[in-house]
Amino acid sequence: MKHRAFTLIELLVVIAIIAILAAILFPVFAQAREKARAASCVSNMKQIGLAALMYAQDYDEVYVGSYVFPNGWANCPMLRFNDLLHPYMKNMDIFACPSTRRPLVDDRGRLNCAPIAAVYGSAIGQEPGTSVRPLAFGYLYNESYNDTAYCDRCDCSTGLNCYHGVLASAVFSPALGTTVSDVGAALAAIEDVAGTIAFSDGNPRCPHDENASGTIAVFRYPRDTDVEYDAKGNHYPGSGCYMGGEKVGRVGRRHNMGANHVFSDGHVKYLRKTTPSMWTRYQD
């Protein structure tokens, strides 16, 4: 019986077809994989939002602040919002977005610090968020301090020349000569809780930056956001991080060119682009 083998041309055609199908399907598979990661990220952020509301219920309806440093900046204990929310979640992995590898690392005021160790039940010298024990971290707090360096029409009397995100103010201690706590806003002061961002997918400098950092907040507004205008219409061209000519700030648009955001009422929303008013606690 005569057996007929594949010709070289037939093999090349089959290989070409497989290559074409792979080129078509691989991006689809990558998008599907990223959608799964984004869904996991949404779950994390919902838990963060719920923990923040539970915190507020325990502290006279005042939202969690970004930092608490009773002995001065960078002195033990240097507590961040994730430390303050940890007792309500008991799971450090919640602060790890599955689409980023950036760790929180800052030994100042954390390493060999008993109060930090007590939060996590760790041994002294093994505190999370230090060089000894990096903490996977993918989310930033909305401080939103007005970027006056780019604004010549900012009006401090309306609160737009100071903190106006979910952070209310920095409390000063004359005895210490420094701030002792970055205090969250009262829930009643957040005029649009459903429209004000509390936490976002983010990176410390630019979205492609996966380096270790101690940064945990979107600070300057709108420099660190993905918008060029503030809620008063002031334009801030060239301020902050751009990628491909598009303003991105510290917002981590890592989920198919978009980012997840926790709003102050606890709900999570995926957005390709935010609007200026989402970063302030004012109705307008």
The token duo for 283 is 């109705």
Q: How many CB atoms lie within 10 A of CB 125?
A: 12
Contact 98, 105 (CB under 8 A): no
3-class SS of residue 235: strand
Q: Of 112-126, 138-152, 259-273, which gets the smallest average pLDDT? A: 138-152
The CA distance from 134 to 102, in Å, is 9
Q: What average pLDDT does the segment 66-72 reach?
A: 89
Q: How many CB atoms lie within 10 A of CB 186?
A: 15
What pLDDT is stored for residue 177 in this prediction?
A: 65
The CA distance from 223 to 271, in Å, is 18
Distance of CA 159 to the CA centre of its chain: 23
Does 73 have pLDDT greater than 80? yes
> Residues of the chain with pLDDT > 90: what percent?
54
Supply the mean pLDDT for the chain: 87
Apex 92 CA angle, 64 and 271, nearest 5: 65
What pLDDT is stored for residue 152 in this prediction?
A: 55
The token duo for 36 is 């799964």
Dihedrals φ, ψ of 218, to 5°?
A: -80, 105
Please give the full DSSP string across 68-135, using - where no structure is assigned: E-TT-TTSS--EEHHHHHGGGT--GGGG--TT--PEE---TTTTT-HHHHHHHTPPTT--TTSSSS-E
What pLDDT is stored for residue 56 in this prediction?
A: 96
Q: Of 15-19, 25-29, 171-175, 237-241, which gets the smallest average pLDDT? A: 25-29
Please give the residue that has the higher pLDDT: either 27 or 74: 74
The CA distance from 34 to 98, in Å, is 9
Q: What average pLDDT does the segment 235-256 reach?
A: 90
What pLDDT is stored for residue 55 in this prediction?
A: 96
The CA distance from 126 to 68, in Å, is 20
